[in-house]
Amino acid sequence: MSAAATSRAPGSWGHYPSSHPYQMAACRNRQALILPTDSRSCLPFGNGRSYGDVCLNNNGTLLLTRGLDRFIAFDPATGILQAEAGVLLSEILTLIVPQGWFLPVTPGTQFVTLGGAVANDVHGKNHHIAGSFGCQIRAFELLRSDNSRRLCTPEQNTGWFRATVGGLGLTGLITWVEIQLQRIANPWIIAENRRFASLDEFLTLDAGYETRYPYIVSWIDCAATGKTLGRGIYMAGMHAPPGLRKPPPPERRALTVPFTPPVPLVNQLSVPWFNRLYYHLPRPARGLTPYQPFFYPLDNLLNWNRLYGRQGFFQYQCVISPAGIREALPEILARIAASGQGSMLAVLKRFGTKTSGGLLSFPRPGVTLALDFPNRGQPTLDLLEQLDEVTRQAGGAVYPAKDARMSGDSFRQYFPQWQEFSRYIDPGFSSSFWRRVMGD
């Protein structure tokens, strides 16, 4: 491990809150890796795709894990893959898809590290079938600040396993991970698109599609009001069958946002216009699509977070229990519409009952709503606190990996196992998020 000079390291994907100078230490050789022993706290930092401050450690040390980028073992007969924690999901897909395998669970971007997927217990469009990423893990190695190493599996060092899956990088440094992949016949997806005019219609569609399709997700028009409140696009998909005779899809050439504009391009004028256009945009009811645009639509526009300007943006993702869906979801959407702070990227999907057992894992039965809000300062913070109020009353929770401002009281209500989790925190590790919610 080598350490760079103290400087302002890369911030979070949402560009909020601001990061402060801290030490950076590059992790490279996992077998010879020795963690710093000075008085600064450590925190793993992967590819910087967390939205808030779970990946920040102001005045501490960031352990840069992208240097842990080696594949250790892959069995194309069984689909068991072992790789270092800094390997990107995109790099895994490049290796496994041509050999007939796919990630068993994947979030909405392929540019996250394997260790980050574990630490945030990411979820995908198939949670109602497969659960979260933590459900797919066979084993990982955990390096502690005393430089001891623990092999963690669902059966061995179980407490450390449950604390580290979804543990936000606070239990130590994950050096490698072993997962079970899923078999596919080709890289194509059979996809369906359906408009729905209300949340009631969404729930009716969802009840029918979730038993037929492994992947389901919806886009919600957050600018809609009155009779159109809760309208959106329902999208369902499945891997194409073996009999499909079609060549591999061409490699996509991504566009990029080259710089951060001085004025946010996502604003009160563009959001309602975009939402109306996107809702009415013609799209095929059913068809074949490559897996990349289905799973990772935003990955085709690199650095898209720059569109929100220099002030950055907030992502808010909550989960609402089944009992609270019909009351809480309309209330959340109504408060957003009344605030005039709509979201372009509003995603609604179902969580199933399968859990990873992670002590701080976010997914739980119900529906989850994820939204992006340009940072307008106090008005945006006030709106998010209103959404917290509705979420708390509905017995739900907010996702720490995408949070930058939840209160400590809210966190403790959302994650009642936080005290048990605290016993597994490495004394040499901390984060800006953890100090914020714990009041340190």
Looking at the domain assignment, is residue 44 inside a domain? Answer: no
Which residues in 380-397 are b (16+ Cβ under 10 Å) and which e?
Answer: beebbebbbebbbebbbb
pLDDT of residue 410: 96
Determine contact, residues 50/38, Cβ cutoff 8 Å. no
Q: Is the pLDDT of residue 206 over 80?
A: yes
State how far the Cα of 237 lies from the Cα of 214, in Å rounded to an integer: 7
Looking at the domain assignment, is residue 62 inside a domain? Answer: no
pLDDT of residue 252: 76
DSSP codes of every residue in 204-255: HHHHHHTTT-SEEEEEE-TT--GGGTT-EEEEEEEEPPTT---PPPPPP--E
Q: Is the pLDDT of residue 5 over 60?
A: no
Q: Is the pLDDT of residue 1 over 60?
A: no
- Last-in-domain residue among 184, 199, 233: 184
pTM over 0.75? The answer is yes
Q: Is 176 helix (H, G, I), strand (E, B) or coil?
A: strand
Find where tokens 């092999």 sit: 151
Looking at the domain assignment, is residue 8 inside a domain? Answer: no
DSSP codes of every residue in 319-339: EE-GGGHHHHHHHHHHHHHHH
Q: What is the dihedral of CA 94, 100, 105, 107, to 10 degrees?
A: 30
Q: Is the pLDDT of residue 7 over 50?
A: no
pLDDT of residue 263: 87
Percentage of the chain with pLDDT > 90? 84
Question: Residue 335 sits in a domain of what CATH number?
Answer: 3.30.70.2520
Question: Residue 129 sits in a domain of what CATH number?
Answer: 3.30.465.10
Q: Is the pLDDT of residue 438 over 60?
A: yes
Structural domain of 206: 188-414
Looking at the domain assignment, is residue 10 inside a domain? Answer: no
State whether 154 and 278 are in the same domain.
Answer: no
Q: Is the pLDDT of residue 6 over 80?
A: no
- Last-in-domain residue among 155, 184, 213: 184
State whether 161 and 204 are in the same domain.
Answer: no
pLDDT digit string (tens) for 26-60? 999 999 999 987 878 999 999 999 999 999 999 89
Percentage of the chain with pLDDT > 70? 97
pLDDT of residue 2: 46
Count: domains in the chain = 2
- Last-in-domain residue among 157, 184, 211: 184
- pLDDT category, 21, cuts 50, 70, 90? low
210 phi and psi, to 5 degrees?
A: -70, -20
Q: Which of 237, 135, 259 is nearest to 193 (CA)?
A: 237
Give the count of alpha carbons within 13 A of 253, CB side only.
Answer: 0
pLDDT digit string (tens) for 77-135? 999 999 999 999 999 999 999 999 999 999 999 999 999 999 999 999 999 999 999 99
State whether 79 and 161 are in the same domain.
Answer: yes
pLDDT of residue 385: 96
State whether 394 and 255 are in the same domain.
Answer: yes
State whether 180 and 194 are in the same domain.
Answer: no
pLDDT digit string (tens) for 240-280? 999 887 877 777 788 999 999 988 999 888 998 999 999 99
pLDDT of residue 202: 95
